[in-house]
């Protein structure tokens, strides 16, 4: 099967015309959501990590 670069480029261009690109507002909202959820996840895992570390110290008798 021969590879035809011109045909490939035409097909790629046809497919990119079908893509529905997000608006600026949609992009900003999605970015803000990702940042907020990342912050929430970071805080959650910080708290869980501290609780587990405290529990391990108590079990092993290394902490107060």
User: Could you state, in order of their start, the residue ranges of all structural domains in the chain?
Assistant: 26-64
Distance between CA 45 and CA 51 in Å, rounded? 10
Q: pLDDT per residue over 8-60, tens digit each?
A: 999 999 999 999 999 999 999 999 999 999 999 999 999 999 999 999 999 99
> Which tokens sit at 43?
């805080």
- Contact partners, residue 63, CB within 8 Å, separation at least 6: 54, 57
**pLDDT band, very low/low/confident/very high, at 64 (cuts 50, 70, 90):** low
Residue predicted with more confidence, 25 or 3 = 25
């Amino acid at each position: 099967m021969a590879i035809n670069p011109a045909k490939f480029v035409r097909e790629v261009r046809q497919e990119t015309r079908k893509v529905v690109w997000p608006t600026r507002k949609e992009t900003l909202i999605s970015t803000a959501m990702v940042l907020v959820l990342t912050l929430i996840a970071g805080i959650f895992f910080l708290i869980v990590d501290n609780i587990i570390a405290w529990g391990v110290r108590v079990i092993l008798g290394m902490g107060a």
